[in-house]
Amino acid sequence: MASRAAARSFARSAASAARAPIASRVLAAAPRFAARAAAPAVFSSSIQQSRGIKTLNFGGSQEKVYERSDWPKEKLLDYFKNDTIAVLGYGPQGHGQGLNLRDNGLNVIVGVRKDGRSWKKAVAEGWVPGKNLFSIEEAADKGNIVFNLLSDAAQRDLWPTIKPFITPGKTLYFSHGFAITYKDQTHVEAPQGVDVVLCAPKGSGATLRTLFLEGKGLNSSIAVFQDVSGKAHERVVALGVAIGSGYLYETTFEKEVYSDLVGERGILMGAINGLFRAQYDVLRAQGHSPSEAFNETVEEATQSLIPLIGAKGMDWMYANCSVTAQRGALDWHQKFYDASLPVFKDLYESVKNGSETKRALDKNSQADYRESLEVELEEIRASEIWRAGETVRSLRPENNKK
């Protein structure tokens, strides 16, 4: 119910904005917040352009960001004209980044286990054995920019195989701070004479690829762990654009992996699944039908309210819902904050002290991991909430087109 008023308001706002001149759109973006007299001054001073780098105001803190427009395709092609980018691994990130690099016209090769599942997938997507598809060792040897996009466990297990090919003058690239940060567990250490950089898309490789094909892009974080050439920062910014990032912001290897692991286990995947289940189970226990419980728990969130938050923010979504919904959300959100804050603190500490990564590495290294994972996923798939969801999704108008 709450989403209906918000959706109508959003549609009216979008239609009005489309008809209005640009200057009017800026002033009309949040009319009910007109009392915030300081806003225009903040806006005028929050962006400083210098050599293609923008310093933006993020909630009162100044941060540098780098945009795709700073590196047009012609500039990328010239910058990397003498380079061979070797993408090791063809999982979600290797697949998405490799294809985007290829479509941007860069000289890119892929390294995977010969005749394995990833090899066959790469061949099906146009990579040619002996031309731009090689074994991991061959690709690591041929590339002067080596993307280590293997799984975290594989990075640990295959590092002795890869390390001899990461010779002075090369660039070693990661999309996760895991291997370097937890080197006591992975035994992956930055080789001497090598630039070591990171570009971490804030989403799956599949999403990175899809948005790239749509002319959009995922935001990515970048970091430099070791700068031997003096050009590591410039190079990772260029690489971040080349893989299809929307904008890039700065971090460190350690901060990237801490925030990433907390996010995955927290609100992005673990916490949201737990909250969905808890609310659904309460509604079902009180006699609500599966259809009603799913719609009020998952469907309205994913199809209506979360997109509105993404478009204009939490406050805007609240302001454009019914008064009853507003009051309830504002009164109850603090209780959920208080209940979850200790859990998030425990989660962060487990990530920071390495116990979380040890458990993940141990589990992922088991010979029967894929089989045991399928058992866990089947348990989710077979649960009532997600079986109900399958039926609900099938009834969406876009899924019923003749």
Which positions are catalytic? Answer: 176
Q: Going by C-beta distance under 8 Å and a sequence separation of 6 or more, which residues neighbour residue 162?
A: 88, 136, 137, 140, 146, 148
C-beta atoms surrounding 384 within 10 Å? 13
Query: What does the alpha-carbon distance between residue 71 and residue 118 come to, in Å, rounded to a whole number?
Result: 31
Is the Cβ–Cβ distance between 193 and 173 less than 8 Å?
Answer: no
β-bridge mates for residue 110, sequence order: 87, 133
Q: Of 306, 299, 292, which is closest to residue 6 (Cα–Cα)? A: 306
**Three-class DSSP category at 296:** helix
Look up tokens 């979504």; give the residue.
317
- Gap between the Cα atoms of 395 and 291, Å rounded: 11
Residue 42's Cβ-count burial label (10 Å; 0-12, 13-18, 19+) is exposed
Per DSSP bridges, beta strands 133-134 and 145-148 are: unpaired
Question: Residue holding tokens 């009603």?
Answer: 292
Tell the burial category of 156 from Cβ atoms under 10 Å away from its Cβ (0-12, 13-18, 19+).
buried
Whole-angstrom distance, CA of residue 92 vs CA of residue 96: 6
Answer yes or no: are the C-beta atoms of 71 and 238 closer than 8 Å: yes
Task: Region of 240 please: left (phi>0), alpha (psi -120 to 50) or beta.
Answer: alpha
SS3 221: strand
Q: How far is CA 192 from CA 227, 228, 339, 366, in A?
A: 10, 9, 47, 32
